[in-house]
Amino acid sequence: MKVLTREIKKILLIYPNFITRSITDNITIPPLGLETIAACVLDLVDVKIIDAKVRNLTVRDILNEIAQYQPDIIGISCSFTIGINYSLKIAKEAKTQKNRIILGGWHPNFVPTELLQNNFVDIIVRGEGEITFREIIEGKEIEEIKGISYKKAGNIINNPDRPLITDLDTLPYPARQLREKGTHYQIFQLPVDAVESSRGCPYKCTFCNIHLFYRGKYRTKSAERVVNELKIIYNQKGRTNVLITDDNFTANMNRVEKICDLITKNGIKLDLMCQSRLDVIRKNPKIIEKMAEAGFWSFFVGIESFNQRSLDYINKKVQLRDIIQSIKILHQNSIVVVGSMLVGANLEEKREDTDVMIKIVKKIGIDFPIYSIMTPLPGTKFREILIDKGYLLSENWSQYNFTTAVNRLKYLSKPELEYLLFRAYYKGYFNRSWKNTIIRLIKKRGFSLILQTNVFKVLREGLDFLNNIRRIKDGLEDGSILKEDKTQTFQI
């Protein structure tokens, strides 16, 4: 059986415009996953990518473009759990007798049977999609395609997993040429492009499903391949911001050092951002210096908690001293720290734990703290524990936005978890000094920060964010945040 009996000529790939009700709604990153899949089949078919998020498209807008393009296959990306219902809405409206609907990404990977219950979903791609998607387009018999789930004669069939790609250097460069003209990818109005240099994570935090998606494997592209892609961006755009999208860019610091050496050798002048663990920073201060010299100006670090018991509970494999010393090393190199912290990081967490977190964040000077409620994503050990304890309160995926509590803990209710989240945000952005952060920004970026930024949009979004924080303050004072029917009126 083939996916389609006729020849496949047109493919449409969609990145949905789902809303998280958080600060990340103001960030748009290029959909490298879809662009790489597109690059794998451009020699076979015509491909169009609709990035509904960066273009701020509605479902109706997307459907109009589908009607004009008339694709044979529609692939919808859904890596974020909160976006699955939005993706399904698009799929339902777009489905016809003539096309096939394929879903892929982290969330579908963990719940393929659930999603295939919908008669408008034809195939789920599990795991990496590049080779799988090409085999679908080539017309291979569906029973022979590894890494997919589908329906046959009313039954759901899960084909064997596809082996992970051994050599990531064999992947083509993302098809950036398919981006809609005039699109503006940005992080807080700073123009940004993106590069993937590795996949997976060698660690196994209990709240995270990344290592599960990649089956516990961590694979990298060669330093030469990574730097060549950076060089292409630099030659095309000049100095701009580039986000290394890896979940853990610094897992192999020898490779990081080689990348930095090649960036310097090739005269590449880019403003680079990455995600990193903290323990490797403490162990490799000299390489952090090289990173700063090579253009790295901002690190997103997963701190999660300042309670060692919580760190151990989530299997973070990091010590409190690693966190404190690593932040100090980053600041010594004028690197701006965006730190992620979790409210509710262990089953027995209490209000006092969040109070301690707020005080330490202020003391060590996290430049931009990002707070989330630890959320039981599908496939995670944390979710299994909550279900076993009877603490899971909601299976509505649309609530899994990291600011809405979908569970309770032993000592904290759903409203209390949300209250603590809002309180942390208020204390983290109002009750603090911005002096050192501003000095770091000026020292590291200077006037280029202003020249690259849409200042008016930054001011508008900043004022909106501060206004929401003010509303949080009012809710804290009058107690309305603790009322369960009020919590959803707040947006961070």
Q: Does residue 459 lie within any of the structural domains?
A: no
pLDDT of residue 430: 80
Average pLDDT over residues 398-416: 95
* Owning domain of residue 309: 185-453
Q: Same domain for 144 and 193? A: no
> Is the pLDDT at 487 greater than 50, yes or no?
no
Which CATH number covers residue 273?
Answer: 3.20.20.70
Token readout for 440 is 């770091």
pLDDT tier at 332, thresholds 50, 70, 90:
very high
Q: Does residue 141 lie within any of the structural domains?
A: yes
Number of other CB atoms surrounding residue 114 within 10 Å = 17
Give the strand pairing for 336-343 and 296-304: parallel
Q: Does residue 177 lie within any of the structural domains?
A: no
Average pLDDT over residues 161-177: 97
Instruction: Tell me the whole-structure pTM to 2 decimals.
Output: 0.92
How many independent structural domains does the chain possess?
2
pLDDT of residue 212: 95
Q: Does residue 308 lie within any of the structural domains?
A: yes
pLDDT of residue 489: 41
Name the E strands within 383-483.
Answer: none
Q: Are 75 and 49 in contact (CB under 8 A)?
A: no
Q: Same domain for 332 and 236? A: yes
- The predicted-structure confidence for 80-101, as pLDDT tens digits, reads as follows 999 999 999 999 999 998 999 9
Q: Which helix (H) or strand (E) holds 465?
A: helix 455-478
Q: Does residue 1 lie within any of the structural domains?
A: no
Q: How many helices (H) and strands (E) does the chain have?
A: 19, 17
- The predicted-structure confidence for 319-329, as pLDDT tens digits, reads as follows 999 999 999 99
Q: Same domain for 227 and 88? A: no
Q: Does residue 297 lie within any of the structural domains?
A: yes
Q: Same domain for 330 and 222? A: yes
Q: Same domain for 205 and 97? A: no
pLDDT of residue 258: 98
Find the length of the chain. Answer: 492
Q: Are 374 and 342 in contact (CB under 8 A)?
A: yes
pLDDT tier at 230, thresholds 50, 70, 90:
very high
Q: Does residue 356 or residue 182 have the better pLDDT?
A: 356
Q: Does residue 145 lie within any of the structural domains?
A: yes
Q: Same domain for 199 and 343? A: yes
pLDDT tier at 420, thresholds 50, 70, 90:
very high
pLDDT tier at 353, thresholds 50, 70, 90:
very high
Give the strand pairing for 73-77 and 10-15: parallel
Q: Same domain for 110 and 231? A: no
157 φψ region: left (φ > 0), alpha (ψ -120 to 50), beta (else): beta
Which CATH number covers residue 90?
Answer: 3.40.50.280
Q: Which range among 146-155, 230-239, 438-447 shows the weakest confidence by mean pLDDT?
A: 438-447
> Is the pLDDT at 72 greater than 90, yes or no?
yes
Residues forming beta bridges with residue 73, ordered by sequence position: 11, 100
Q: Does residue 81 lie within any of the structural domains?
A: yes
